[in-house]
Amino acid sequence: MRDLVQFHWPVDESGYEVFERAEQAIVPDIRPRRAPTILDSVTEPGGLYIRPKGGTVRTQPLFVSDPVLFMEFAATPRTPEGVIGFANKYGLLFSGSAAKEDGTTPAELLDGEWYGQMEGMAYLVEKANKKEWSALPERVFGVTSVLAPPSSTAPGELPTLKVRPNTLMSAIMLQFALHVSSPIGELKMCAQCKKWFPFGSGTGKRSTAMYCSKKCNERAKYERRNKKTGRAN
Ligand SMILES: [Zn+2]
């Protein structure tokens, strides 16, 4: 199943910022296909929002770089700083690009949107830890199946089935669902970068591993060495 997932999510390289917005009416479709109704007069709630600063965008293969992101998401502080820190690394939860098609910048509400999703994830992790499976949702939302034609016309080549989460939030939910339904190893937090990572049989990481990556291992070694030299002077 993990091999089936194809997911690249954009992250603004100049980072994200929180701003305050007053309640506002949603801009109606410029070419309505029908007469406006009372349902069109919807307002967007006021409050703190997060948006990209509008730099260049990089994409990362989340299921390779961060296969258990739901742990970090659940543990992220529900504060503007916490949300900015998470978005700077992984992007917005639902909006996939720095600029929408109409040229406006996507923005997501903290209270009610980000905080609500974080709280929901923390709840699911807690239930999974207690093995209260009946508390878990039956559906993992927002996934598209793609059947890609073979890359060559050579005989015997077959189409490839891929599953694509529609948003970062769907990807986080799918990672959670994969972990509880077919766990690979156990999870622990990296002593250096605080990311969670799987360890034990099948993960390529020993149960004594303290760091998520070679990079974090090197970084920790370097810091230890610097501390020692600092004391010697
Ligand atoms: Zn690390």
Q: What is the pLDDT along the chain (233 residues), one digit of tens a residue?
A: 778 898 999 999 999 999 999 888 766 655 556 565 555 557 788 999 999 998 889 998 888 888 899 999 999 999 999 999 999 999 999 987 656 666 778 999 999 899 999 999 999 999 999 999 998 888 877 899 999 888 888 889 999 999 999 999 999 999 999 999 988 888 999 999 888 988 988 888 888 899 998 999 999 999 989 887 765 44
Return left, alpha or beta for 129; rule: phi > 0 is left, psi -120 to 50 is alpha, else beta: alpha
Q: What spacing in Å lies between the alpha carbon of 199 and ligand 1's midpoint?
A: 13
* Alpha helix segments (H runs only) across the chain: 62-65, 69-75, 80-90, 115-129, 168-181, 214-232
Q: What's the 34 CA to ligand 1 centre distance in angstroms? A: 53
User: Whole-model pTM?
Assistant: 0.82
Report the pLDDT value the prediction gives residue 148, as an integer from 0 to 100: 87
Task: Name the residue ranges covered by the structural domains of the chain.
Answer: 2-27+41-150+159-183, 185-233
CB atoms within 5 A of ion ligand 1 belong to 190, 192-193, 195, 212, 216
Ligand 1 centroid vs 195 CA: distance in angstroms?
A: 6
Assess contact for 16 and 84: CB atoms under 8 A.
Answer: yes
Q: Quote the pLDDT of residue 40.
A: 58
CA distances 15 to 51, 54, 82, 191, 195, Å, are 9, 8, 13, 25, 19
pLDDT recorded at residue 28: 60
